[in-house]
């Protein structure tokens, strides 16, 4: 199964403010490929904190997609969400067995775990030209070894988004 990251990040590397506010991304809500990316995704694997945030949105952002929530805590699924705890490799193997082609891995801690397990195939990172000083990091840390990525594409958007697409070189 292919595992992909697609996220918006502040200039200083944050996915959200500490209180989970995403206000700094608001001025940059032009289409930067998210809709096309979502069309290629058949399953999301998201951290519990990201899940709790999106559950607070007016509208469920993943209609028609399979969603797996990484959590140690009880989940009260309203749209068939599944829970998973522990290493991501067995989950990835199970999803592949069940016919999933491409997974969207989201949430800073969740992404870090995918990187630590060397499971992430590509990352599309859209940087907005705002530094927020503190918050919830895209890469909260912990990778045990250096990983080399290949820069596959760079796109600049009128609002100031600088998007980089990185892929893992063939293993
Ligand atoms: N700007 C963007 O594009 C973007 C993208 C994604 C997220 N965000 C924002 O970033 C924030 C969330 O990111 P985050 O890094 O704070 O957290 P996160 O990765 O969404 O969630 C982390 C939590 O998920 C659970 N978890 C993760 N891996 C697990 C595993 N393998 N097994 C069991 N449980 C696991 C743990 O919670 P428990 O142990 O408590 O269950 C952990 O504390 C939110 O504010 C969200 O809105 C922004």
72 Cβ inside 6 Å of ligand 1: yes
pLDDT of 145 reads: 79
Whether the Cβ atoms of residue 19 and residue 132 lie closer than 8 Å to each other: no
Please state the pTM of the whole predicted model.
Answer: 0.97
70 Cβ inside 6 Å of ligand 1: yes
List, for residues 97-107, the tens digit of each pLDDT value: 999 999 999 99
pLDDT of 171 reads: 66
User: Greater confidence, 143 or 158?
Assistant: 158
Contacts of 105 (CB under 8 A, 6+ apart): 3, 4, 5, 44, 45, 46, 88, 111, 114, 120
Instruction: Give the residue-averaged pLDDT of 26-51.
Output: 96
For the cut 70, the answer to whether the pLDDT of residue 53 exceeds it is yes
pLDDT of 126 reads: 98
For the cut 80, the answer to whether the pLDDT of residue 142 exceeds it is no
Confidence of residue 169 (pLDDT cuts 50, 70, 90): confident
Residue 110 CA to ligand 1 centre (angstroms):
6
β-strands 82-84, 66-70 pairing: parallel
* Percent share of the chain, pLDDT over 70: 98
Instruction: Give the residue-averaged pLDDT of 77-98.
Output: 97
Ligand 1 atom having least distance to the Cα of 112: 19
Residue 47 CA to ligand 1 centre (angstroms):
3
Of all protein residues, whose CA lies closest to atom 31 belonging to ligand 1?
A: 86
3-state DSSP assignment of residue 26: helix
Side-chain-facing half-sphere of 97: CA atoms under 13 Å: 6
Whether the Cβ atoms of residue 119 and residue 4 lie closer than 8 Å to each other: no
108 Cβ inside 6 Å of ligand 1: yes
Instruction: Give the residue-averaged pLDDT of 112-134.
Output: 97
Ligand 1 atom having least distance to the Cα of 53: 47
Residue 158 CA to ligand 1 centre (angstroms):
30
Instruction: Give the residue-averaged pLDDT of 73-95.
Output: 97
Neighbours of 141 (CB within 10 A): 8
* Tokens matching residue 61: 């952002």
DSSP per residue over 97-134, as a string?
HTT--EEEEESHHHHHHHHHTT---EEEEEEES---SS
Instruction: Starting at the earlier edge strand, list the strands of the sheet with 43-47.
Output: 82-84, 66-70, 43-47, 102-106, 2-10, 122-128, 162-167, 150-156
Residue 21 CA to ligand 1 centre (angstroms):
14
pLDDT of 147 reads: 87
Residue 98 CA to ligand 1 centre (angstroms):
24
pLDDT of 60 reads: 95
pLDDT of 32 reads: 95
Per the prediction, the chain carries an average pLDDT of 96
Residue 153 CA to ligand 1 centre (angstroms):
27
Whether the Cβ atoms of residue 154 and residue 136 lie closer than 8 Å to each other: no
Instruction: Give the residue-averaged pLDDT of 118-131.
Output: 97
């Amino acid at each position: 199964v292919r595992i992909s990251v697609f996220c918006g990040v502040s200039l200083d590397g944050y996915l959200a403010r500490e209180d989970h506010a995403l206000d700094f991304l608001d001025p940059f809500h032009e289409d930067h490929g998210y809709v096309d990316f979502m069309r290629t995704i058949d399953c999301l694997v998201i951290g519990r904190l990201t899940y709790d945030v999106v559950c607070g949105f007016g509208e469920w952002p993943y209609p028609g997609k399979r969603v797996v929530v990484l959590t140690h805590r009880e989940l009260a699924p309203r749209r068939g969400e599944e829970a998973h705890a522990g290493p991501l490799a067995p989950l990835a193997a199970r999803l592949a067995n069940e016919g999933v082609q491409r997974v969207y891995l989201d949430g800073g801690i969740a992404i870090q775990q995918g990187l630590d397990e060397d499971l992430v195939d590509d990352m599309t990172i859209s940087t907005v030209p705002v530094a927020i000083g503190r918050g919830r990091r895209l890469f909260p840390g912990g990778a045990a070894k250096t990983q080399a990525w290949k820069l596959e594409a760079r796109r600049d958007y009128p609002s100031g988004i600088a998007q980089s697409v990185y892929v893992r070189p063939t293993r």
